[in-house]
């Protein structure tokens, strides 16, 4: 997609969109693609914004056509998340968190700074938004939500205003506070709860390990970029040496070597992009997702607490009734009986809700685990294929150079 | 510490069967490296046809210095002294390893130890190669191979420490200081009538700064490459950590991925160190050798200056009518010395050119072949792993 209006150029990293996935199963439907970005009209400085094109391809009849494209701003994505979390979190669904807000990165882009880092930032965000939407629509329950359909189809969306506080990071902060509170509660230990207890522990461990792995992959990305830079510098130096060399054949070989190193530098740069987009971002996504999983365990906790509080309240009301009977105050007795009935109903309702949310959370976690395994497998294979491609190129370059080295006389 | 058996990496310098030298192994004791110097010879000037001695780095330096300080060799390019074995990198790592042992998991510790061993090995290979080449330069040169101290170095079956101390007292290092710093101003200031030396001077001055630069850039590049290999190592460990706590298909994917990274690390590491050994070391060596060539030009320039001074002194003496014979003799000697240096210098610089070209050719070919070999290993490793992952 050609950049317009002084938009920094986008990288050519396009996600793999073949008709069938690796096991010959059905491709994702609907399929989401974000591409292109447009700087707002007359927008310069801090009032400028980026709009991303969101294209959907689907065979589902709930949409009004098979392919359609809309324009959305980053705040629209945040707005979608807000709506979905408001509705579905409390039922124990894992609502995928949106990409992080980044003030620094975005400022550079808005101010029109055309350097590789701002181009990279835009590409990073574009890819993250795409993955975010794809996750939302691959959730069978969320796909049914009219807000999702509206987001994908509707020409103009009302601007989401209250997304200031609720970015991905803000949400996670809120979650962490909730988790702390929850861990202080005592839990009734029955068979079902043991499953949940072990599961939440697994999730916590996995999140820790994944954070560590992510740090290491980020280190790899940086070192690979450094290697690329140093290779380029070395290539120039070898070229200079070659031009200074007075033996003709050796001089030629050295300038060929400089060319090879230049091509290798390119390889390293491409590999660094792969390190980042295929591996590092996968981990970043899953660290956020594991946070969301913890969130739905919290919701179950809240539901349990509500039920327990209702039980306690019912108990209190029964005590009040007993006291009134003993004190023989018939006029207040009816009120007490009414309140008991009210709280008995609440207890039943909350117990049922707790069981429902437990079942949902359980189902969600199982679905999440499956998707995670599938996601990682696909990305690992893609990543290894990128490494493979890089090595095969390397062989080509060195094999082309070998006769040049042998020709030195 | 470590014992290393290294295959000789000569620069086509061992093709004269009458005197063949190599360093088949080296031992690292604490901070001292002991090289085994192995000689095979058909020359009658040596006591035995084959023998091995143990030598330390300081012994090589002693040998180099005595050669530098020998007046007779002023017209020759003196093979550059091998640099001191530098174990600073691995030593730092070992320190880190010792400090962090308690806070590391068993796997992390094992991985760091692996990295450490790889680094030690790399430094070892480099230092053995450079010490060996030094001796081979001497043995393949018609004049140096006859040097008495060289023979002692090769043959003397005792420790050389005592001899070294005596040598220091004798020479006092006066000549060494003069020669060590090739005065570029003096060289470029000389009025050169000889076309050959004029060209050589310009070439050496230009090439010298370029090769120094290329060496520094190559070092940085190799460093980055090693960092990438280290990252693969850590990533492998981290993947295994996640896999350990898992029980599903996820676990298998992660373990496979960890295994790939582990193996890739080894290949990348070898790629980086072979590139260093063949390319960076080549550049490092020739930076030093170019310096030795410049030193020769300096000595010749000095001899020319001396000759010009002696001419002026002779004129003065003739004017005054005093000490004329002495001045004539002095002038004659200065001219002789200058002519000898020019004649021998020309030969040396010509063979230096040829030697440089041969060395570059050999090392560039070897490096390229190794890089191809390692890349092919990576390819089959990756292809195999992708197969396995897809079929699961």
Over the stretch B236-261, which tens digit does the pLDDT of each residue have? 999 998 998 877 778 888 999 999 99
Q: Is a pLDDT exceeding 70 seen at residue A189?
A: no
Cα(B319)–Cα(A87) distance, integer angstroms? 114
At residue A41, the pLDDT reads 52
Residue of A nearest to B214 (CA): A237
Mean pLDDT, range A320-343, rounded to an integer: 86
Q: Is residue B297 part of a domain?
A: no
Q: Is residue B288 part of a domain?
A: no
The whole-chain average pLDDT of chain A stands at 83
Cα(B367)–Cα(B279) distance, integer angstroms? 7
Residue of A nearest to B379 (CA): A388
**A 250-309: CB under 8 A from B:** 250, 253-254, 257
Cα(A343)–Cα(A345) distance, integer angstroms? 5
**A 188-227: CB under 8 A from B:** 202, 205-206, 209-210, 212-213, 216-217, 219-220, 223-224, 226-227
Q: Assess B204–A contact: CB distance below 8 Å, yes or no.
A: no
Q: What residues are paired with A34 via a beta bridge?
A: A54
At residue A107, the pLDDT reads 64
Q: Assess A388–B contact: CB distance below 8 Å, yes or no.
A: yes
Q: Is a pLDDT exceeding 50 seen at residue A44?
A: yes
At residue A25, the pLDDT reads 40
Q: How confident is the model at residue A9 (pLDDT cuts 50, 70, 90)?
A: very low
Q: Is a pLDDT exceeding 70 seen at residue B372?
A: yes
Determine whether the interchain pair B253/A216 forms a contact, defined as Cβ–Cβ distance below 8 Å. no
Highest mean pLDDT among B97-101, B179-183, B213-217: B213-217
**A 18-77: CB under 8 A from B:** 22
Name the least confident of A192-206, A238-252, B338-352: A192-206
Name the least confident of A34-43, A357-366, B30-39, B180-189: B180-189
Asked if A220 and B233 count as a contact pair (C-beta separation under 8 A), the reply is no
Q: How confident is the model at residue A184 (pLDDT cuts 50, 70, 90)?
A: very low
At residue A105, the pLDDT reads 63
Q: Is a pLDDT exceeding 90 seen at residue A18?
A: no
At residue A193, the pLDDT reads 76
At residue B16, the pLDDT reads 74
Mean pLDDT, range A78-99, rounded to an integer: 91
Q: How confident is the model at residue B78 (pLDDT cuts 50, 70, 90)?
A: very high
Q: Is a pLDDT exceeding 50 seen at residue A352?
A: yes
Mean pLDDT, range A331-342, rounded to an integer: 87
For residues A225 and B179, which has the higher predicted lDDT (pLDDT)?
A225
- B217, B220, B379 ranked by CB distance to A392: nearest: B379
Q: Assess B239–A contact: CB distance below 8 Å, yes or no.
A: yes
Q: Assess A157–B contact: CB distance below 8 Å, yes or no.
A: no
Q: Is a pLDDT exceeding 70 seen at residue A12?
A: no
Q: Which residues of chain A have a CB within 8 Å of the CB of B246?
A: 206
Q: How confident is the model at residue A236 (pLDDT cuts 50, 70, 90)?
A: very high
Name the least confident of A25-34, A167-176, A218-227, A230-239: A167-176
Radius of gyration of chain A (CA): 29
For residues B237 and B106, which has the higher predicted lDDT (pLDDT)?
B237
Q: How confident is the model at residue B26 (pLDDT cuts 50, 70, 90)?
A: confident
Determine whether the interchain pair B378/A384 forms a contact, defined as Cβ–Cβ distance below 8 Å. no
Counted domains in chain B? 1
Name the least confident of A125-139, B149-163, B282-296: B149-163
Mean pLDDT, range B96-116, rounded to an integer: 80
CB atoms within 10 A of CB A247: 17
At residue A2, the pLDDT reads 37
Q: Which residues of chain A have a CB within 8 Å of the CB of B360?
A: 250, 253-254, 408
Cα(B63)–Cα(A48) distance, integer angstroms? 73
Mean pLDDT, range A353-377, rounded to an integer: 93
Asked if A85 and A242 count as a contact pair (C-beta separation under 8 A), the reply is no
Q: Is a pLDDT exceeding 90 seen at residue B2?
A: no
Whichever domain contains B43, its CATH number is 3.30.1520.10
Cα(A63)–Cα(A72) distance, integer angstroms? 18
Q: Is a pLDDT exceeding 80 seen at residue B10?
A: no
Q: Is residue B92 part of a domain?
A: yes
Q: Is a pLDDT exceeding 90 seen at residue B282?
A: yes
Asked if A127 and A281 count as a contact pair (C-beta separation under 8 A), the reply is yes
At residue B47, the pLDDT reads 86
Please tell me what DSSP assigns to residue B72.
G
Mean pLDDT, range A234-244, rounded to an integer: 96
Asked if B261 and B236 count as a contact pair (C-beta separation under 8 A), the reply is yes
At residue B6, the pLDDT reads 43
- A219, A244, A384 ranked by CB distance to B210: nearest: A244
Asked if A264 and A231 count as a contact pair (C-beta separation under 8 A), the reply is yes
Asked if A154 and A63 count as a contact pair (C-beta separation under 8 A), the reply is no
- pTM flag (> 0.80): yes
- Test mutation, B203, B371, B373, B374, chain A, max A CBs within 10 A: B371
Name the least confident of A54-58, A161-165, B15-19, B78-82: A161-165
Q: Assess B364–A contact: CB distance below 8 Å, yes or no.
A: yes
Q: Assess B205–A contact: CB distance below 8 Å, yes or no.
A: no
Q: How confident is the model at residue A251 (pLDDT cuts 50, 70, 90)?
A: very high
Determine whether the interchain pair A231/B221 forms a contact, defined as Cβ–Cβ distance below 8 Å. yes
Determine whether the interchain pair A219/B386 forms a contact, defined as Cβ–Cβ distance below 8 Å. no
What domain range is B83 assigned to? 1-157+171-176
CB pairs under 8 A between A and B: 163
Q: Is residue B230 part of a domain?
A: no
Determine whether the interchain pair A238/B250 forms a contact, defined as Cβ–Cβ distance below 8 Å. no
The dihedrals phi and psi of B14, each to the nearest 5 degrees, come to -105, 30
- Strand pairing class (B19-29; B3-5): antiparallel
At A71, is the secondary structure helix, strand, or coil?
strand
At residue A278, the pLDDT reads 93
- Find where tokens 């998340």 sit: A81
Mean pLDDT, range B305-316, rounded to an integer: 90
Domain locations in chain A as residue ranges: 206-408
- A216, A238, A405 ranked by CB distance to B235: nearest: A216
- Choose the CATH number for A206-408 among 1.20.1270.60, 2.30.110.10, 1.10.40.60, 3.30.70.980: 1.20.1270.60
Any residues with CB less than 8 A from the CB of B81 and at least 6 apart, and which?
B60, B61, B64, B65, B134, B288
At B313, is the secondary structure helix, strand, or coil?
helix
Q: Which residues of chain B have a CB within 8 Å of the CB of A240?
A: 210, 213-214
At residue A103, the pLDDT reads 62
Mean pLDDT, range B32-37, rounded to an integer: 90
**B 244-273: CB under 8 A from A:** 245-246, 248-250, 253-254, 256-257, 260, 264
Q: Assess A232–B contact: CB distance below 8 Å, yes or no.
A: no
Asked if B377 and B267 count as a contact pair (C-beta separation under 8 A), the reply is yes
Asked if B67 and B176 count as a contact pair (C-beta separation under 8 A), the reply is no
Cα(A30)–Cα(A139) distance, integer angstroms? 11
Q: Is residue B50 part of a domain?
A: yes
What DSSP string runs through B185-227? HHHHHS----HHHHHHHHHHHHHHHHHHHHHHHHHHHHHHHHH
Q: Is residue B254 part of a domain?
A: no
Determine whether the interchain pair B248/A224 forms a contact, defined as Cβ–Cβ distance below 8 Å. no
Asked if B300 and B198 count as a contact pair (C-beta separation under 8 A), the reply is no
Mean pLDDT, range B321-331, rounded to an integer: 90
Mean pLDDT, range B204-229, rounded to an integer: 95
Burial of A256 by CB count in 10 Å (0-12 exposed, 13-18 middle, 19+ buried)? buried
Determine whether the interchain pair B382/A388 forms a contact, defined as Cβ–Cβ distance below 8 Å. yes
Mean pLDDT, range B26-55, rounded to an integer: 88
Q: Is residue B249 part of a domain?
A: no
Mean pLDDT, range A211-240, rounded to an integer: 96
Determine whether the interchain pair A373/B250 forms a contact, defined as Cβ–Cβ distance below 8 Å. yes
B43 cis-preceded (ω within 30 degrees of 0): no
Q: How confident is the model at residue A170 (pLDDT cuts 50, 70, 90)?
A: low
Q: Is a pLDDT exceeding 50 seen at residue B108?
A: yes
- Test mutation, B233, B242, B384, chain A, max A CBs within 10 A: B242
At residue B187, the pLDDT reads 62
- Test mutation, A202, A212, A216, A409, chain B, max B CBs within 10 A: A216
Determine whether the interchain pair B227/A226 forms a contact, defined as Cβ–Cβ distance below 8 Å. yes
- With a pLDDT cut of 70, the percent of chain B lying above it is 89
């Amino acid at each position: 997609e050609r950049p317009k209006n002084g938009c920094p150029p986008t990288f050519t990293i396009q996600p793999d969109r073949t008709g069938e996935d690796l096991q010959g199963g059905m491709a994702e439907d609907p399929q989401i693609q974000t591409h292109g970005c447009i700087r707002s009209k007359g927008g310069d400085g801090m009032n400028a914004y980026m709009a991303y094109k969101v294209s959907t391809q689907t065979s589902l009849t709930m949409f009004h056509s098979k392919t359609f494209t809309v324009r959305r701003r980053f705040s629209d994505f945040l707005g979608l998340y807000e709506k979905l979390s408001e509705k579905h979190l409390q039922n124990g669904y894992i609502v995928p968190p949106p990409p992080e807000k980044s003030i620094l990165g975005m400022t550079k882009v808005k101010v029109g700074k055309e350097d590789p880092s701002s181009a990279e930032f835009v590409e990073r965000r574009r890819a993250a938004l795409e993955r975010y939407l794809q996750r939302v629509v691959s959730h069978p329950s969320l796909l049914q939500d009219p807000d999702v359909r509206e987001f994908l189809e509707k020409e103009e969306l009302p601007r989401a205003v209250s997304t200031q506080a609720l970015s991905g990071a803000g949400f996670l902060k809120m979650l962490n506070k909730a988790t702390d509170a929850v861990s202080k509660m005592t839990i009734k230990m029955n068979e079902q709860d043991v499953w949940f207890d072990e599961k939440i522990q697994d999730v916590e461990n996995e999140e820790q390990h994944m954070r560590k792995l992510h740090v290491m992959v980020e280190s790899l990305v940086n070192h690979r970029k450094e290697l690329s830079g140093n290779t380029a510098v070395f290539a120039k130096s070898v070229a200079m040496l070659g031009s200074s060399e007075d033996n003709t054949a050796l001089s030629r070989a050295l300038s060929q070597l400089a060319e090879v190193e230049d091509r290798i530098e390119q390889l390293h740069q491409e590999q660094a992009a792969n390190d980042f987009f295929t591996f590092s971002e996968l981990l970043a996504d899953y660290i956020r997702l594991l946070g969301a999983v913890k969130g739905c365990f919290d919701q179950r906790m809240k539901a349990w607490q509500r039920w327990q509080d209702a039980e306690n309240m019912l108990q209190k009301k029964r005590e009040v009734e007993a006291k009134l009977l003993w004190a023989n105050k018939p006029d207040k007795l009816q009120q007490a009986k009414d309140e008991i009935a009210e709280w008995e109903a609440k207890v039943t309702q909350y117990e049922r809700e707790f069981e429902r949310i437990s079942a949902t959370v359980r189902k969600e976690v199982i679905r999440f685990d499956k998707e995670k395994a599938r996601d990682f497998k696909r990305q690992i294979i893609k990543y290894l294929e990128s490494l493979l491609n890089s090595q095969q190129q390397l062989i080509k370059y060195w094999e082309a150079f070998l006769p040049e080295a042998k020709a030195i006389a | 510490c470590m014992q290393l058996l290294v295959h000789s990496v000569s620069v086509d310098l061992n093709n004269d069967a009458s005197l063949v030298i190599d360093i088949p192994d080296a031992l690292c004791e604490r901070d001292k490296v002991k090289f085994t110097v192995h000689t095979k010879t058909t020359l009658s000037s040596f006591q035995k046809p084959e023998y091995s001695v143990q030598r330390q780095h300081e012994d090589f330096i002693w040998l180099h210095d005595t050669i530098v300080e020998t007046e007779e060799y002023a017209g020759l390019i003196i093979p550059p002294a091998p640099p001191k074995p530098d174990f600073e990198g691995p030593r730092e790592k070992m320190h880190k390893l010792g400090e962090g042992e308690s806070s590391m998991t068993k796997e992390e510790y094992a991985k760091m130890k692996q990295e450490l061993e790889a680094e030690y090995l790399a430094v070892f290979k480099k230092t053995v190669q450079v010490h060996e080449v030094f001796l081979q330069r001497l043995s393949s040169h018609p004049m140096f191979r006859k040097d008495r101290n060289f023979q002692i170095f090769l043959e003397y079956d005792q420790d050389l420490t005592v001899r070294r101390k005596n040598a220091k007292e004798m020479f006092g290092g006066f000549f060494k200081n003069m020669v060590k710093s090739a005065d570029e101003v003096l060289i470029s200031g000389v009025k050169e009538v000889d076309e050959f030396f004029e060209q050589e001077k310009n070439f050496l001055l230009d090439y010298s700064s370029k090769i120094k630069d290329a060496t520094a850039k190559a070092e940085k590049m190799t460093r980055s490459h090693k960092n990438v290999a280290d990252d693969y190592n850590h990533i492998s460990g981290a993947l295994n950590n996640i896999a350990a706590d898992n029980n599903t298909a996820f676990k298998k994917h992660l373990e496979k991925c960890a295994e790939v990274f582990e193996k890739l690390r080894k290949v990348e590491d070898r790629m980086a160190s072979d590139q260093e050994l063949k390319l960076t070391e080549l550049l490092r060596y020739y930076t030093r050798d170019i310096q030795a060539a410049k030193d020769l030009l300096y000595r010749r320039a000095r001899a020319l200056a001396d000759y010009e001074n002696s001419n002026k002194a002779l004129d003065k003496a003739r004017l005054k009518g005093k000490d004329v014979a002495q001045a004539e003799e002095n002038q004659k000697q200065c001219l002789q010395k200058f002519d000898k240096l020019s004649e021998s210098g020309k030969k040396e610089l010509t063979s230096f050119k040829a030697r440089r070209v041969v060395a570059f050719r050999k090392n560039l070919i070897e490096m390229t072949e190794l890089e191809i070999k390692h890349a092919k290993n990576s390819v089959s490793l990756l292809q195999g792993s992708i197969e396995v992952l897809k079929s699961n």
